[in-house]
Structure 1
Amino acid sequence: MKERDFDIWLSKFRASIATYDYYIDFEKVYRNVDEIKIELNILNSLIGSKNIKEDFIKVLKKYPETLKVIPILLAKRENEIYCQDENGGYLYRFKVEKYPPNSHLFYERCCYFMEQTGLFDLLQNHLINNLVDYVTGVETGLDSNGRKNRGGHLMEDLVEKYIQKAGFMKDVNYFKEMYLVDIEKRWNKDLSALSNQGKAAKRFDFVVKTASTIYAIETNFYTGGGSKLNETARSYKMLSKEAETVEGVEFVWFTDGIGWKSARGNLRETFEVMEHIYSIDDMENKVMQEIFK
């Protein structure tokens, strides 16, 4: 490859790689709501009730399974919720099988919970029209918390698409999340130089195998700065040097994200000594077809 200018290379880093399904996983939202739709529709009978406490107890007695959906009305997935006030504290367990079917104390505690958390008011005063729609909104809000996990896989997914575009097939000549020990066994290679003489259980995001070379690949994308970026740059620079001591093995790093602009010094040092460090722009310009031969 021709010599590259670091500043020009860094200037093409992206602010985001969010896909359309990154923000909310609606399939998961709808699936979670469908699993409790019957119980929610039963509780819909309490909306606008003039005698909410009495009607709620009747529902629990006749349909005890409705108890399990109470936590999600408060945007909680756990089936145990602890609450306290001037009357003391109590751990509410929303599992039907844990309670006797006709315990007066049990029903009183449930009503106290519903009253103090505001759920009775929500139902009684028509603040909502339908619990299925309400919980769909709650699930949508909770799913937004999953963006961090989804975001962690965005770069991996992107790199994998370009690996496939370069003509490689999964579990044939490219492999995902492969440990060093598995690489050693599969291709009879001594990679102790990359694992601190076998002391570190290193795992690569991808491994691409060509006729003559094993390419061990790491991927990441950083939207923000921090000390982790400097540690990553130093670590991968060392890993690249270690790979150079093993014949037929090369280390490749695909990275991007404007977070690197706050850690450009360490990234520049790695860029200047590491042969295979590439960005999304490089992938778009078919760098994989150039290096994986």
Structure 2
Amino acid sequence: MRDFDKWFNEMRYSINQYNYYVNFEKVYENIEKLKIELNIMNSLIGSNNIKQDMTDLFEKYPEILKCIPILLAVRKKEIYVRDEEGEFNFNFESRNYSIEQYIYFMEKTGLVDLIENHIVNNLIDYCLGVETGLDSNGRKNRGGHQMENLVESYIKKTGLEYYKEMYLRDIESKWNMDLSQISAGGTSSKRWDFVVKTENNIYVIETNFYTSGGSKLNETARSYKMISRESKDIPNFEFVWVTDGAGWKGARGNLEETFNEMEHLYNITDLEKGIFTEVFK
């Protein structure tokens, strides 16, 4: 029997790598797409006749309209607003209102003040900061990929045949397996993070890393415990769950129940000790 307390105390606080925080390559790429237009708009900074200068600039260079959303930290090409006059949906790829209305939009959102009063000196530098802030929203996805990449590195070490993001129905089709016991009678569209094929067995693997707690962790533990139960009678099929993270401290009880029932529940320390080599047979 494995010792849950010892295993649980091995949970990692973080697995963040250097590129987790900001993907500067993507930030620079997004700025480069608007560099010419932003430089044109830089001519408006500190203008003494901002509305007339904006009108002249938008008439001569209508393409600069597409810069406006990023100045408001918005990635969409359309922005909806409503006021006492009604509802408006401004399109910044293909102008659908008068130039005066677009300038009014910029005035009401604070962009005219930002540019006219020299609050920023360079719109490219300003947008670089905006893009950096927006990119931080991608940390959740990068965090999930970090765990997947880590687990994949240990799968590769086994030298076995494996697949990423494989649907349950594709497993059934590829290896002529009946997985109706875990597919809700064939209605589930479950996708597994990894599938490892050995000479005798199919191993489906789920991975996750939780830095913070929440009800989702309890639901995940219960769900995976149920999959483990339902899959026990499927010939040549094994369910493997690799999880880690300090977030489990708030869901310890449910995780312990699952740990005591699941044969293949592992953490990063288990991977480091070569558990995949022992399990995949």
TM range (shorter): over 0.9
Q: Which position in structure 2 is the counterpart of 1:208?
A: 196
Q: Which position in structure 1 is the counterpart of 2:229?
A: 241
Q: Which position in structure 2 is the counterpart of 1:102?
A: none
CA distance in 2: counterparts of 1:64 and 1:227, whole angstroms: 49
Q: Does residue 1:88 correspond to 2:76, yes or no? A: no
Q: Which position in structure 1 is the counterpart of 2:54?
A: 56
Q: Which position in structure 2 is the counterpart of 1:225?
A: 213
Q: Which position in structure 1 is the counterpart of 2:68?
A: 70
Count of paired positions: 281
Instruction: Give the C-alpha shift of residue 115 in structure 1.
Output: 2.2
Structural mapping, 1:122-161, within 5 Å: 122-161=114-153
Q: Which position in structure 1 is the counterpart of 2:168?
A: 180
Tell me if structure 1 keeps the 8 A contact 2:69–2:92.
no
Closer/same/farther in 2, CA of residues 84 and 240 from structure 1, 3 Å limit: closer
CA distance in 1: counterparts of 2:175 and 2:181, whole angstroms: 16
CA distance in 1: counterparts of 2:69 and 2:259, whole angstroms: 51
Q: Secondary structure at the match of 2:19?
A: coil
Aligned partner (choices 26, 33, 36) of residue 34 of structure 2: 36
CA distance in 2: counterparts of 1:74 and 1:249, whole angstroms: 51
TM-score, with normalisation over the residues of structure 2?
0.93
Instruction: Give the C-alpha shift of residue 134 in structure 1.
Output: 0.9
Among all aligned residue pairs of Structure 1 and Structure 2, give the percentage whose two residues are the same amino acid: 61
- The amino acid of 2:15's aligned partner reads I
- Note the alpha carbon deviations across 1:92-136, whole angstroms, 9 max, x for none: 52335344xxxxx81222222222222222222222121111111
Q: Please, which runs of 5 or more residues in structure 2 have no aligned partner?
A: none
- The amino acid of 1:120's aligned partner reads V
Tell me if structure 2 keeps the 8 A contact 1:70–1:94.
no
TM-score, with normalisation over the residues of structure 1?
0.90
Instruction: Give the C-alpha shift of residue 28 in structure 1.
Output: 1.1
Aligned partner (choices 107, 110, 128) of residue 118 of structure 1: 110
Instruction: Give the C-alpha shift of residue 252 in structure 1.
Output: 0.7
Structural mapping, 1:92-111, within 5 Å: 92-95=89-92, 97-99=94-96, 106-111=98-103
Instruction: Give the C-alpha shift of residue 84 in structure 1.
Output: 4.4
CA distance in 2: counterparts of 1:193 and 1:77, whole angstroms: 43
CA distance in 2: counterparts of 1:96 and 1:268, whole angstroms: 53
Q: Secondary structure at the match of 1:263?
A: helix
Tell me if structure 2 keeps the 8 A contact 1:64–1:96.
no
Q: Secondary structure at the match of 1:205?
A: strand
- Deviates further, 219-228 or 30-39: 219-228
Instruction: Give the C-alpha shift of residue 15 in structure 1.
Output: 1.6
Q: Please, which runs of 5 or more residues in structure 1 have no aligned partner?
A: 100-104
Instruction: Give the C-alpha shift of residue 81 in structure 1.
Output: 2.4
- Note the alpha carbon deviations across 1:14-67, whole angstroms, 9 max, x for none: 122222111111111111111111100110111121111111111111100011
Closer/same/farther in 2, CA of residues 73 and 175 from structure 1, 3 Å limit: same
CA distance in 2: counterparts of 1:89 and 1:117, whole angstroms: 16
Q: Secondary structure at the match of 2:222?
A: helix
CA distance in 1: counterparts of 2:57 and 2:16, whole angstroms: 44
Q: Which position in structure 2 is the counterpart of 1:163?
A: 155
